[in-house]
Amino acid sequence: MSGRRIAYLNARLIDPESGRDETGALLTEGETIADLGPGLFDDGLPDGVFPIDCGGRILAPGLIDARVFVGEPGSEHRETFASAGKAAAAGGVTTMLTMPNTDPVIDDVALVEYMARLARDSARVRVHPMAALTKGVAGREMTEFGLLAEAGAVALTDGVRAITDSRVMRRCLSYADTFDLVVCQYPEDPSLAPDGVMNEGELCMRLGLAGIPCQAETIMVERDLRLVALTGGRYHAAALSTAEAIDAVREAKAAGLRVSAGALVHSFALNETAVGSYRTFAKTAPPLRAEADRRAVVAGLADGTLDLIASGHDPQDVESKRLPFAQAATGIIGLETLLPLTLELYHNGELPLARALGCLTSRPAAVFGLPQGRLAPGAPADLAEIDLDVPHRIDEDGLRSKSKNTPFGDRPVQGRVTRTVVAGETVFRHGRD
């Protein structure tokens, strides 16, 4: 099959999977990457190839955001696939993995198909829905893993809820392995933090708020790892925020368990002091932790214990944030801030560039078995052109998400996406869209 041929010239090609980092050109043909490398068009462009000059900027695989909440269906006033797709494209995100915590919950084959169709019709980027692990995300009865996967579910998760019943979790891990599916857990034991709204500690005590202790995460991760050892299943801890849970995953990986883990941007870009005096835009899941935990997240990303970085994009309308802290909605948006905030790790000297980008591309692709996330002949032509150094401030009013609940407004950052390509088509250009 052939299609329109586009040459991306004068690009710094970075492919985290292969370690490629060199100046050259890339050719797409239709929806796939046909060829790339230095000196690709040294003999001139062949006829019928449309040239795009990257001006020396980075050309990397499009980003894969492994934890995205979209309001559709059920909460279209917060976010639709159309608005999330625009935000994603502007953020260089070419693939969104969406959470099943919608209304209705995505726990049924028809709903997965509906989601996939809705996304295809209205989102500018690829959408892979995750389906619920248990019916109604109630944590009791398993959903139809095989049929859901066939319908397009990329992984299984109860999203914002942990599977607390150990027997249910054991069965989910065992049964999911039949279909080679990843069980994706949000590891927080709710019984240790029934009313918790922020990290338990001194600040929380002074503010008179109910805390979520680190142990709520550690206990859940440690239990899960034992069940992984018992069942041999595949497990992904969706959002780690504590030093001890990261240590547990590090040991489990060393022991050869089939385990992966992610961190959300806010877990390394902020600490609990951002809550200040009851700032509800800093009310997140997992909660913002102490500085030592924030540093442990950075270390976990640096040594590979944490496989990927996701935004945890969770749009909440302003009204649900303009409330007393305990009543305010949890969650922040992140599709458009994912890249610049991840690049802080590179600019601060904490992660090499290829690893920082790998956490957003090749590694989530590996965890979830996706063909995208790399620059290689035959791979999907999903690309992000990045101006690595340009300084700017995050402009919350300019964000494309329907909801503007970000704690990062006005934060000075370096680097932005200048062009986003999905399946060979440009879906975003900085200054144009």
Provide, rounded to whole angstroms, the least separation between the CB of residue 75 and other proteins.
Answer: 18
Least distance (Å) between residue 277 CB and other proteins: 6
* Tokens (6 digits) for 353: 């560039």
Number of chain residues interacting with other proteins (CB under 8 A): 19
Alpha carbon separation from 211 to 190, 191, 199, 275 (Å, rounded):
11, 12, 5, 13
Contact assessment for residue 11 and residue 41, using Cβ atoms and an 8 Å cutoff:
no
Residue number, 138 or 318, with CB nearest to other proteins:
318
Q: Whole-angstrom Cα distance, residue 134 to residue 160?
A: 12
Q: Which stretch binds other proteins (CB under 8 A): 33-41, 61-69, 89-97, 204-212?
A: 204-212
Is 215 one of the binding residues for other proteins (CB under 8 A)?
Answer: no
Q: How many CA atoms lie within 13 A of 186 on its CB side?
A: 23
Site stretch for other proteins (CB under 8 A), options 48-56, 147-155, 316-324, 359-367: 316-324
CA dist., res. 27 & res. 151, Å (int): 32
Comparing CB distances to other proteins, the nearer of 179 and 278 is: 278
Q: Which of 24, 88, 91, 95 is nearest to 57 (CA)?
A: 24
From the list 19, 39, 208, 349, which residue makes contact with other proteins (rule: CB under 8 A)?
Answer: 208
SS3 64: strand
Tokens representing 245 are 């849970």
Query: What's the rounded Cα separation, in Å, for the pair 405 and 396?
Result: 8
Q: What DSSP element (H or E) covers 231?
A: helix 214-231
Say if strands 5-15 and 58-61 run parallel, antiparallel, or are unpaired.
parallel
* Cβ 104 to other proteins shortest distance, Å: 24
State whether the Cα torsion 68-74-76-78 is positive or negative: negative
The interface region with other proteins, picked from 22-30, 67-75, 196-204, 417-425 by CB under 8 A, is 196-204
Q: Are 363 and 408 in contact (CB under 8 A)?
A: no
Is-contact 22 13, C-beta < 8 A? yes
202 binds other proteins (CB under 8 A): yes
Q: Is 77 in the site for other proteins (CB under 8 A)?
A: no
Determine the Cα–Cα distance for residues 21 and 211; give it in Å rounded to an integer. 45
**Quick one: which of 272, 278, 281, 274 has its CA closest to 321?**
281
Whole-number Å distance between alpha carbons of 15 and 354: 7
23 vs 327, which CB is nearer to other proteins?
327
The CA distance from 120 to 331, in Å, is 25
Q: Based on the shown chain and the rule CB under 8 A, indicate whether residue 291 belongs to the binding site for other proteins.
A: no
Residue 282 binding other proteins, by CB under 8 A: no
Interaction of residue 195 with other proteins, rule CB under 8 A? no
**Binding residue for other proteins (CB under 8 A) from 138, 230, 255, 323?**
323
Nearer to other proteins, 287 or 300 (CB): 287
Grouping H, G, I as helix, E, B as strand and the rest as coil, residue 348 is coil
What amino acid occupies position 352?
Answer: P
Is the Cβ of residue 200 or residue 385 nearer to other proteins in the bound state? 200
Among 319, 377, 389, 412, binds other proteins (CB under 8 A): 319
Residue 201 touching other proteins (CB under 8 A) = yes
Instruction: Say how many CA atoms lie within 13 Å of 422 toward its Cβ.
Output: 22
Any contact of residue 194 with other proteins (CB under 8 A)?
Answer: no
Q: Which of residues 224-253 bind other proteins (CB under 8 A)?
A: none
Residue 49 binds other proteins (CB under 8 A): no
| CB nearer to other proteins: pick between 39 and 194 | 194
Which three-class secondary structure state does DSSP give residue 156?
strand
The kind and range of the H/E element at 297 are helix 291-302
Q: Is 388 in the site for other proteins (CB under 8 A)?
A: no
If one asks whether residue 39 binds other proteins (CB under 8 A), the answer comes out as no
Q: Is 277 in the site for other proteins (CB under 8 A)?
A: yes
Of the residues 43, 206, 348, 349, which one makes contact with other proteins according to CB under 8 A: 206
Single residue of 4, 77, 322, 393 touching other proteins by CB under 8 A: 322
Q: Which one among 52, 127, 209, 246 touches other proteins, defined by CB under 8 A? A: 209
Q: Which stretch binds other proteins (CB under 8 A): 45-53, 56-64, 95-103, 202-210?
A: 202-210
> Which residues lie near other proteins (CB under 8 A)?
200-202, 204-209, 213, 277-278, 319, 322-327
